[in-house]
A and B are shown apart, each in its own frame.
Chain A
């Protein structure tokens, strides 16, 4: 029996980095990090295989909405047992299992939480990042222009793996705009949330990690945390990806796009035009303020925009 905790975020907000930092806690002394053999393998909530295996139903024969109506049953079942989600290979016994999720916190058409409320996980770490930094990273991830990424983040109907006429590797993940996604998590009242800003994780990695573990009820010594932050620096992840590739990422464009890109705080200042900044701040100003991100444009400009 284990407890599950969601690592929830809009894509490109530091979810994988945090997961690797947590995973590195279980490395033994002298053991090096291999980003393709991560110790923490809780997987992602939208994985297709556990759905098919637990329901016995071929998800490829169901519509996105039909799948969503069954998904709460999957998380209830996984919430009770570790058996089905562990992919392969030897596993260390763990008390808390962190599971990545990009889905917004939505209700199914039957009105129940897609992620099964507290029966699916006892809590969630919500990682957020300045949307102006998410935009260039998302454009790189999706293989689109900056403007298309802004449009995606403003679109209430956006999502991953949501196209008809093909089988996506994962189940549909609804991303109803950047603001809508974060609001869905912040405003739900089913499970407690620990809010973590990417910028704070970057600024004080050890402190942010300690707070996450404290919230999750995972014991860790300061030495463990320090070792983890020294091993899993963003630069180290970038370097490993350049050398060996990253198993969780496949650039189908063949243009050599990397998963770990800049990881900067404030990189948007040299990547976005004033007009692009205005569009993001105009669409997401209220949520940015709620999260403590300072707008670069005046409130009048935002209103005009």
Chain B
């Protein structure tokens, strides 16, 4: 049995969870258990369902055809059964991403599709849909000396004063071969995330696995007409939409009737940390410019000390 800390929760798992930096010896009694076992093909009387999933009360079934089925119960247990001879290792990458994301929804957590790095004593998040460049941004910033906090999924909580915090869990990055080449990270490349993909785990230079208050949230946008390069602060409504659209996944927010908490959280994040658009070309060659622009912005909003 292996133990991990994931999104602020203690997790006990029968199989190794790839992409997490280390299993930890003592993280308290498990709040979530992951086990291999029989998983039904379908849920009867599902109250909500989609093409690959069904929800019935506190039970949630996800099927990734020919790979695995996952049954989540009350945000406390994940059972999974592989299909068609898929190895548990090849299915495990889905556990720490999609499946754990759904489990966090079951626990009524705010979960963002975001990567995060540490800037000063704050967490800076980069949100966007798949392919928006979240991991690439985090990898480039890690290389620049900003510790990696999260890759792809980021659970948001509140500290005692009600300020938003990011639960980081010290994940490895997941990067495509093209990004590894352009960011010159070949020496940190680990195993492929799945045997059939040219996408690999990449060891961050430095990672940090504790909760940090949110410093800023950036919605990533590609520079396309009529958008111009730059960082701008959207109005209150658009800020809320950036957060809502960055939910991991928006469909889950609807299915679990979580719209209201997401908007409240968005308002809280916008007021206490700041939500911004970061518009830049999707071009590896421009990453140093983008980092320069971000650092200037961090000085402006007080995350970094101003240059004297």
Which residues of A are in contact with B by a Cβ distance under 8 Å?
A: 36, 48-49, 52-63, 66, 69-70, 73-74, 76-77, 84, 88, 164-169, 241, 244-250, 252
Residues A69 and B65 in contact, CB atoms below 8 Å apart: yes
> Which residue from B93, B101, B177, B227 sits with its C-beta under 8 Å from A165?
B177
Residues B130 and A59 in contact, CB atoms below 8 Å apart: yes
**Residues of A with C-beta under 8 A to B274:** none
Q: A52-B130, A63-B197 are in contact. List 11 more A-B contacts (CB 8 A).
A: A36-B225, A48-B129, A55-B50, A55-B51, A56-B101, A58-B152, A61-B194, A164-B177, A164-B197, A165-B198, A247-B227
Residues B93 and A56 in contact, CB atoms below 8 Å apart: no
Residues B131 and A48 in contact, CB atoms below 8 Å apart: yes
Residues B51 and A245 in contact, CB atoms below 8 Å apart: no
> Which residue from A88, A164, A245 sits with its C-beta under 8 Å from B224?
A245
**Residues of A with C-beta under 8 A to B62:** 56-57
- Give the CA-CA distance A48 to B131 in the complex, in Å: 9
Which single residue of chain A is at the shortest CB-CB distance from B97? A58
Decide if B107 is an interface residue (CB 8 Å cutoff).
Answer: no
Q: Number of B residues contacting the other chain (C-beta, 8 Å)?
A: 44
**Residues of A with C-beta under 8 A to B108:** none
Residues A36 and B52 in contact, CB atoms below 8 Å apart: no
Contact string against A for B residues 251-294, beta-carbon threshold 8 Å, 1 for contact and 0 otherwise? 11000000000000000000000000000011100000000000
Which residues of B are in contact with A by a Cβ distance under 8 Å?
A: 50-53, 62, 64-67, 93-94, 97-98, 101-102, 129-131, 152, 176-179, 193-194, 196-199, 222-227, 241, 245, 249-252, 281-283
- Give the CA-CA distance A49 to B283 in the complex, in Å: 21
A56-B226 contact, Cβ under 8 Å, with A48-B130, A61-B94, A164-B198: no
**How many contacts A-B (CB < 8 Å)?**
111
Residues A56 and B98 in contact, CB atoms below 8 Å apart: yes
- Give the CA-CA distance A84 to B194 in the complex, in Å: 29
The 7 closest A-B pairs by CB, nearest first: A245-B225, A73-B51, A165-B177, A165-B198, A166-B178, A55-B52, A167-B131
- Give the CA-CA distance A52 to B113 in the complex, in Å: 11
**Residues of A with C-beta under 8 A to B193:** 61
- Give the CA-CA distance A92 to B176 in the complex, in Å: 39
- Give the CA-CA distance A36 to B67 in the complex, in Å: 40
> Which residue from B176, B179, B223, B226 sits with its C-beta under 8 Å from A244?
B226
A84-B130 contact, Cβ under 8 Å, with A36-B226, A57-B52, A61-B97: no
- Give the CA-CA distance A164 to B176 in the complex, in Å: 9
- Give the CA-CA distance A53 to B250 in the complex, in Å: 7
- Give the CA-CA distance A164 to B194 in the complex, in Å: 13
Residues A61 and B252 in contact, CB atoms below 8 Å apart: no
Shortest CB distance A83–B (Å): 8
- Give the CA-CA distance A246 to B227 in the complex, in Å: 10
- Give the CA-CA distance A90 to B252 in the complex, in Å: 22
A247-B225 contact, Cβ under 8 Å, with A56-B98, A57-B64, A74-B51: yes
> Which residue from A54, A73, A76, A250 sits with its C-beta under 8 Å from B251?
A54
Residues A70 and B52 in contact, CB atoms below 8 Å apart: yes
**Residues of B with C-beta under 8 A to A53:** 249-251
Residues B51 and A70 in contact, CB atoms below 8 Å apart: yes
A selection of 28 A-B contacts at a CB cut-off of 8 Å is A48-B129, A52-B129, A54-B52, A55-B50, A56-B98, A56-B252, A57-B52, A57-B64, A57-B94, A58-B98, A60-B199, A69-B66, A70-B65, A76-B51, A77-B50, A77-B51, A165-B177, A165-B199, A166-B176, A166-B179, A167-B130, A167-B131, A167-B176, A168-B131, A241-B225, A245-B226, A250-B222, A250-B223
- Give the CA-CA distance A52 to B251 in the complex, in Å: 9
- Give the CA-CA distance A49 to B131 in the complex, in Å: 9
Shortest CB distance A45–B (Å): 15
- Give the CA-CA distance A77 to B48 in the complex, in Å: 13
- Give the CA-CA distance A66 to B91 in the complex, in Å: 13
Residues B283 and A52 in contact, CB atoms below 8 Å apart: no
Shortest CB distance A41–B (Å): 15
- Give the CA-CA distance A52 to B223 in the complex, in Å: 23
- Give the CA-CA distance A70 to B98 in the complex, in Å: 16
Shortest CB distance B190–A (Å): 16
Residues B177 and A58 in contact, CB atoms below 8 Å apart: no
**Residues of A with C-beta under 8 A to B227:** 247
**Residues of B with C-beta under 8 A to A241:** 225
**Residues of A with C-beta under 8 A to B222:** 250
- Give the CA-CA distance A76 to B93 in the complex, in Å: 27
**Residues of B with C-beta under 8 A to A252:** 281-283
Shortest CB distance B195–A (Å): 10
